[in-house]
Structure 1
């Protein structure tokens, strides 16, 4: 699912570039926003896939992260659906304010829970439990850092380039998490397997 998230964020980045080149702001804002929301949804589903192993060794952090991930899923599914509905119906859009007259401020707590708290909780839980490599544990914290950077730069000159960089950063991070999970042995697995006398001799 992290690899799927990387693809979705990559598509969102492509829409951002298209909007910058053609000036199709509505396409960039709504369809790109829907793909960004879908990318977060896929990433949060990936986090929930890590929950069973983490819950055995870091129960409370994993549970907290699971709750935050579910809240984030609800918020991002709603955000993505509202963006697509507004694009299809031609509803009025206010950047950062409302879509089709529907204020989105009430989903912001869920977005914080999913983007910031879920990933940081799973990162700390992974570090404490030791069921994944340290690389994976650290990478799980990167989406939270990117979210903070995004919130900290709300209206600066060249904001569209900042947004593009943030989406590309999310795509690369999700790809790195997914690739590392598929290819790297977890430290617990390496510790749990004792070498046989024959293999030690060789």
Structure 2
């Protein structure tokens, strides 16, 4: 939810607090009564702002990062074992050396090392140093899961776009609803300046200052 959308959402929450003690002032069946009855359901439909000025991280993104950590740990264990084997078989460790820990490099190292581990005889040399008997298939399974998480990330992004569009429509409705309720409130309480002042405070939608070139990024607004 963007900052301007959060401002509307917070105003709608204040409007809810305002209308609760004044609900009886709007006759049943009137537009004012219908508008007031819509406030709470609309707040619930919009839902609380999960993150200001941006989208929440995809659940698949976190899971994918954890898988990369596991793969990197596995590769480091394989590389360390290869170095030990190389003490008796010089040069054995060369194909198992690792690059940096970027995801792209981790994938490249994993594919290359799996190619080196293509024969049972080579795998047996690692197992002789207490590597798990299924360490190769475990590594292959983790790589397959990483591919799957990539697809889930795409689905999460699609869902996020859909949710963003849905919230935008509801926020537009919220703006119109606040304006409509305001008309009923001003007519009903036009001789009660105290209540009108309360309404003005409750219904005020804060404007988000425009950033000027060179301005620092403002601190995120707190979620309500």
Alignment TM-score, normalising by the size of structure 2: 0.37
- Please say which structure displays the higher CA radius of gyration: 2
Structure with bigger helix share is: 1
